[in-house]
Amino acid sequence: MIRTVIVDDEPLARDVLREYLAADEDFEIAAECANGFEAVRAVTQHDPDVLFLDIQMPKLDGFEVLSLLDRSPVVVFVTAHDEYALRAFEVNALDYLLKPFSEERFHAVLQRLKQQVDRRVTTSVAALGASLRSKPLQRIVVRGDEGSIQIIPAARVDYVEAADDAILIATAGTKVRKQQSIGDLAGELDPDRFVRIHRSYLLNIERLEKVELYAKDSRVAILRDGTKLPVSRSGYARLRELM
């Protein structure tokens, strides 16, 4: 059996997916979710082969759900919005169902799913979500060790620090750990606001008070709260472009 999880905030949409899936005995529905928080929990609990995922949802959107998953199910987007369709195929989403869709269209997707699941072809779903996003991140979602989810508005981030294979997000006097590389996050945030001042630091330039010469060809960024961060030569060049 191919385990599936359905994620859509519209009850009618979930009803349609449930009905169409029930007609194929190779698929079983492990969970139905009405929002992104439920989706993250369900994927962790059931480790599904396939995720039918809406994009526009309250609380957490589909891209944020993908960024929090530590599993890699095959993803089929199911949405009423067509602006992501072409890019979905470019980054190897299995398919993109635009509502309303016919039963024939849906069953064609199921046949493709069977082939892909049989081949055990997987794509990093976090990378998939990041690739589809057309605008800079407005908020960062972080999954805690005990399954909790914290949402940090990008505007409230002071700086980001690399920590081995993770990052520490400095905000409001605390540091929140997230399992992501600093380079990947830098590529998702607004380049007009966040600048990589050092290989280990990403700075929100709105928090910058001044830059001082520390030693020959070595500088330090001083934030408004007094925090000091190292600035590399290339980081200083990027800072000057924005200042």
- Same domain, residue pair 87 and 149: no
Mean pLDDT of the chain: 87
- Same domain, residue pair 127 and 22: yes
Region 182-204: mean pLDDT is: 94
Region 44-68: mean pLDDT is: 89
- Same domain, residue pair 126 and 7: yes
- Same domain, residue pair 18 and 126: yes
Nearest CA among 203, 191, 39, 192 for reference residue 129: 39
- Same domain, residue pair 126 and 188: no
pLDDT at 88: 57
pLDDT at 242: 83
Residue 84 has pLDDT above 90, yes or no: no
- Same domain, residue pair 18 and 87: yes
- Same domain, residue pair 123 and 107: yes
Contact call for residues 130 and 146 (beta carbons, < 8 A): no
Structural domain boundaries, residue 71 = 2-132
pLDDT bin (cut points 50, 70, 90) of residue 132 is low
Region 61-68: mean pLDDT is: 86
Contact call for residues 231 and 211 (beta carbons, < 8 A): yes
The CATH number of the domain where 184 resides is what? 2.40.50.1020
Counting the structural domains of the chain, the total is: 2
How close are the terminal C-alpha atoms of the chain, in Å? 57
Residue 48 has pLDDT above 90, yes or no: yes
- Same domain, residue pair 124 and 146: no
pLDDT bin (cut points 50, 70, 90) of residue 94 is confident
Region 24-53: mean pLDDT is: 94
Contact call for residues 148 and 197 (beta carbons, < 8 A): no
**Using CA atoms, how far apart are residues 218 and 29, in angstroms rounded to an integer?**
58
- Same domain, residue pair 161 and 112: no
According to the 3-state scheme, what is the secondary structure of 49-80? CEEEECCCCCCCCHHHHHHHCCCCCEEEEEEC
- Same domain, residue pair 173 and 216: yes
Mean pLDDT lowest among 64-73, 163-172, 202-211: 64-73
The CATH number of the domain where 93 resides is what? 3.40.50.2300
